[in-house]
Amino acid sequence: MTTDTPHRLSQAAPRPAARLIVPYADEGVIKSVSSDDYELSPGTFDEAAQQNPLWVAWVQPDAIAARIDALFADTVPARRKKPPNVDRFSFEMIDWLCEEVFDEIFTDVDALEAPENRAVAGQLVTYFGEALRILANGEWFASGTKYPSPLFDLEFTPKVGYRWNWQGSDDLTDMFYEAVEIDGGPDAFGVISTGIYSRVAEYKKTLGHPYPDDEVTGQRGRS
């Protein structure tokens, strides 16, 4: 998962961890950010980042749904891949996308940053972030503008935060770079899927419904 230290991003400037939640637009009016939203990233909240029109457009529910639909309707079939017949946000599907799509497209940092892969990167960032939102009770928010993500034209950085855990948030860009930079990588299963599982297990534990002991720590093997 992410920390509040900068991540080395190829030739791009390093950037620290980020800020806060999205105000959804309603008929062109951006809603104000509640003081309660500081819970998602205490000490590093950047209200201005949430008002960035590009971020507000990116994080709209319809836009999120459209990118995920494109992932399954266009990107996966184009690679002649057939996903398992399971729930879209099951761990079996998360694992499959990590190994059969992410690892095959993003073989290294150059592939991750390639302009021709930008749309796929956006689709996968959206999918994995939604998995965290749905499975771990997370909320989308944007980082500040000082260290924006090179995966989003240096305009914003999507993150997922948790009101039940003020100490942690997840930076999808950092997870992607870690997955391609890891020794012997790419290894999206070892970084992204296991990271999501760890966060979900942590959340379940707060509800009094922990996963089996060996899984609460996020230490699970490949199927």
Any domain includes 128: yes
Any domain includes 114: yes
pLDDT tens-digit readout, 15-57: 223 323 333 333 343 333 444 555 555 456 678 888 889 999 9
Given a contact cutoff of 8 angstroms between Cβ atoms, the answer to whether 124 and 71 are in contact is yes
Any domain includes 164: yes
Lowest-confidence segment of 66-75, 150-159, 206-215 by average pLDDT: 206-215
Given a contact cutoff of 8 angstroms between Cβ atoms, the answer to whether 158 and 20 are in contact is no
CA distances from 215 to 51, 81, 134, 212, 221 (A): 38, 29, 19, 5, 9
In the chain, the number of structural domains is 1
Any domain includes 149: yes
CA atoms of 197 and 215, how far apart (whole Å): 8
CB atoms within 10 A of CB 113: 20
Residue 11 banded pLDDT, cuts 50, 70, 90: very low
Any domain includes 221: no
The closest alpha carbon to 141, from 40, 71, 36, belongs to 40
Mean residue pLDDT of the chain comes to 79
Beta bridge partners, 21, equal 141
- pLDDT of 39: 54
- pLDDT of 98: 97
Any domain includes 223: no
Any domain includes 1: no
Any domain includes 222: no
pTM of the prediction? 0.79
Q: Is the pLDDT of residue 181 over 90?
A: yes
Q: Is the pLDDT of residue 204 over 50?
A: yes
Name the residue range of residue 109's domain: 7-216
